[in-house]
Structure 1
Amino acid sequence: MLRAIIVDDEELSMKRLKRILSESGEFGVCHTFLNPLEAYEFMKTNQVDVAFLDISMPDINGMKLSNCLLELDSSIQVVFVTGYDEYAVQAFEMNALDYLLKPVTVERVNKTLGKINKKQRAAAVAPILTVLFFNGLKIYQGDQNEAPVKLRSPKTEELLAFLVYKGAVSREEIIDTLWNGLEPEKAGKNLNSTLYYIRKAISASKTEECILAGRSEIRIDESGIHCDLYEFERLLKAIRLAPACRAELAELFKQAEALYAGPMLKGKSYDWASEKRRRIEQDYIELLELAARFYLEGQEAHISLHYYSEILKLDGLREDISYKLIRLYVELERTHEAIREYRKLEELLQQELGMKPGLPMTELFMKLKQ
């Protein structure tokens, strides 16, 4: 069942659309909002498949709101609702799935539902392109069982990575990021020729389906692309929503750990990716800590050991994590491993910071030696 939100400052119109959607049998949840800001806050902590947005709203119109919602979750499908047919062209320029004219009818909504279902089915089949960001950059036509795509130059590779990373980006921002300093006309030609080489490498007919190039913006259609970064961020969001089912949360931890094969775009000196790389690594470390606490609460200390150890592989100077790891080894009567872990921390702190472990850690170690 699909999850939807309706945002419209006209209450009667909103109620009519909700009734039609509810009676369609396609939607399990359909939340309504008169205030766009409330819808935006709701999206921060809830998963939504489709957003029906009124275009003409005061303060924040539907077009602006759609951009804000897509920044929170780029996989959401947007359907604009309007009383003016003149907005239709604008809606499709923004790559909306569809638009509905007021007053909405059952027949017209059914056509929209057909498009939604088609897109859902397309997302379930093999992707046109697979782009893997973790532990380097790997690109495949189709899935990972296919041969890697060979791109013409490092700049061609960087442009494709940047497009997938951004999801939707203006041509102006692409030029400022990848061809900064060049004359505008020359930079524009470089962008067009580099985009041509991407199409040629992947096969133009298929690329048209997932890389949508307009006059002012280039957008990635995520239904045609599998990207480990997209999936990792979706898993993070699902974990932060704290599923009630313990088994479900354990499976999400497992999937997220499997995806994070190494630092994002490892070995690539892309300035535009550096801040995101640091944030994703920090998000991953926080996820590992959450998983360790989760298994401790479930009396599964041996699994907690694994997650604490993984944190130290990424940040060996985390004395607080070393302390928790050593305490667990002690509780499990694995004294030799506890001492070894202390020695490793002691040596690393001395080499990197010229410091010794803190008092709590030293006292714990002295007890181990007794």
Structure 2
Amino acid sequence: MRVILVDDEALALEHMEHLLVKISGVEIVGKFQNPFRALEASLRERPDVIFLDIDMLEINGIEIAEQIQSSYPEILVVFVTAYDEYAVKAFEINAMDYVIKPVQRTRLAETVRRLKKRVPSQAISSDGSGIICCFQTLQFKRSMWDSEFVDVYWRTSKARELFSFLIQHRGRPVRKDILLDMLWPEVDDKKGYAQLYAAIYQIRRTLSAIQMNITISSLDHSYVLELNEVKLDVDEWQNGMAALTSGSDENVVKHQNLMTLYRGDYLAEEGYLWAESERERLRILWLHYINMMTDHFVSNGKYTEAILLYRRVQVLHPYVDSSYFMLMKLYDLLGDHHSVEQQYKHLRNMLKEEYDMKPKPTIEKWYEKWKSEMNRHKNGDGNNECRSL
């Protein structure tokens, strides 16, 4: 049973971990004091159970649970709270159980016993196809929503890069001389072709070992890679998002599910220069969908959901100033003045440390105007205004 622990109190988090590691059949796959990081991890890792503190400073645990269960209702929630009065609300959102602080070993063991009856078998399910993951890094899974990755052994880094390049050009012929110039520019043609053939052989052996039915055919002076029934996360994400043409209520959950496929920029950890244009294209598309969903949330007064989206943008792209500015404006809409100040300070520090720069004039102007309005409100001179993004 895979679990995630969330509590903004470090001692409470350590105590819960100490109790759970002594119970057989429990694997802790994450523990967090930051509830927003916990939400991201829960949507990414899809644990069986999340033990969630209710009374946290940044956001109420019940809001986090609602976010998780709107996307993945199969994730079981157990609330950990110092207040018995929260129990009724907990069961309103289909929480599996709740335990009162300080957590007792016998009470927690009983909760785990109940959970094990609800958690499905851990056997890896396969839809007979498998999926290649290219967001963030190259990996394989047995099915789309499987949380486990397949162990893959690449004999050489060249074989891994060659496979990645063929995946990017899937279904299209790629000339062998182009592959030679890209991967073995320093060797003569005879030796280069020998290394190319050896790399293709290694790729086929690797795919066979993990039972992925992907074919690489040689025709004329080219290779063609066919995915056959194997899926690609990039295609699934792109096609799925394009089919949801609006950010309506009926589509928002589907949007959120699909957005979890975007674990990071395309092949970002591989650092292949030839992937940069595709990486940038998909990043722009991702930000477009983020903005579309944010507009929907803001227009419906769901500022917390919009903030969670841009917190994810900030995690993936911590050196881009736009996410800080957007979060400043979203926190302002929420009335969280402290977080506006915090985001501005984080932005100034990031720009100073990374680029030795100051925030853009548009951001400085907005902040100075906001600061002036806050001071007038404190002095009783300001009027409440309707704010917008």
Task: For residues 267-290 of structure 1, give each alpha carbon's deviation from its aligned partner in whole angstroms, at most 9, with x where no partner exists.
Answer: 323221123223322322222122
Contact 1:323 1:361 (8 Å CA) reproduced: no
In the alignment, does 2:369 pair up with 1:366?
Answer: no
- The answer for unaligned runs of 5 or more in structure 1 is 1-123
- How far is the alpha carbon of 1:321 from its aligned partner? 4.6
The alignment partner of 2:265 has SS state of coil
- How far is the alpha carbon of 1:359 from its aligned partner? 1.3
Task: For residues 298-335 of structure 1, give each alpha carbon's deviation from its aligned partner in whole angstroms, at most 9, with x where no partner exists.
Answer: 33222112223333334456555544433332332222
- How far is the alpha carbon of 1:176 from its aligned partner? 2.6
1:157 to 140, 156, 160: 160
The alignment partner of 1:355 has SS state of coil
Contact 2:180 2:196 (8 Å CA) reproduced: yes
Distance 1:158 1:195, change over 3 A: same
1:235 to 224, 232, 240: 240
Contact 1:137 1:266 (8 Å CA) reproduced: no
Task: For residues 40-59 of structure 1, give each alpha carbon's deviation from its aligned partner in whole angstroms, at most 9, with x where no partner exists.
Answer: xxxxxxxxxxxxxxxxxxxx
1:337 to 332, 336, 339: 339
Task: For residues 107-154 of structure 1, give each alpha carbon's deviation from its aligned partner in whole angstroms, at most 9, with x where no partner exists.
Answer: xxxxxxxxxxxxxxxxx9421x53221222224578765742212111
Contact 2:248 2:296 (8 Å CA) reproduced: no
Letter in 1 for 2:313: I
- Equivalent positions of 1:1-12 (< 5 A) are none
The alignment partner of 2:260 has SS state of helix
- How far is the alpha carbon of 1:161 from its aligned partner? 1.2
Contact 1:316 1:345 (8 Å CA) reproduced: no
Letter in 1 for 2:185: N
Task: For residues 166-196 of structure 1, give each alpha carbon's deviation from its aligned partner in whole angstroms, at most 9, with x where no partner exists.
Answer: 1022323322322234333332222211111
In the alignment, does 2:219 pair up with 1:214?
Answer: yes
The alignment partner of 1:259 has SS state of coil
- Equivalent positions of 1:1-370 (< 5 A) are 125-127=127-129, 130-139=131-140, 147-167=150-170, 168=172, 169-203=174-208, 210-239=215-244, 242-243=245-246, 246-316=248-318, 321-351=323-353, 352-356=355-359, 357-369=363-375, 370=378
Letter in 2 for 1:328: L
Higher helix share: 1
Mapped partners of 1:135, 1:320: distance in 2: 21
Computed over aligned residues only, the root mean square deviation of the Cα atoms, in angstroms, reads: 3.1
Distance 1:236 1:188, change over 3 A: farther
Letter in 2 for 1:183: D
Mapped partners of 1:312, 1:276: distance in 2: 21
Letter in 2 for 1:177: M
Distance 1:155 1:139, change over 3 A: farther
- How far is the alpha carbon of 1:202 from its aligned partner? 2.4
Letter in 2 for 1:152: R
Give the paired residue count: 243
Query: Which TM-score applies when normalising by structure 1?
Result: 0.57
Aligned twin of 2:28: none
Query: Which TM-score applies when normalising by structure 2?
Result: 0.54
Q: Percent identity?
A: 18
The alignment partner of 1:218 has SS state of strand
Letter in 1 for 2:188: E
- How far is the alpha carbon of 1:261 from its aligned partner? 1.0
Mapped partners of 1:321, 1:197: distance in 2: 42
Letter in 2 for 1:364: W
Letter in 2 for 1:306: L
The alignment partner of 2:137 has SS state of coil
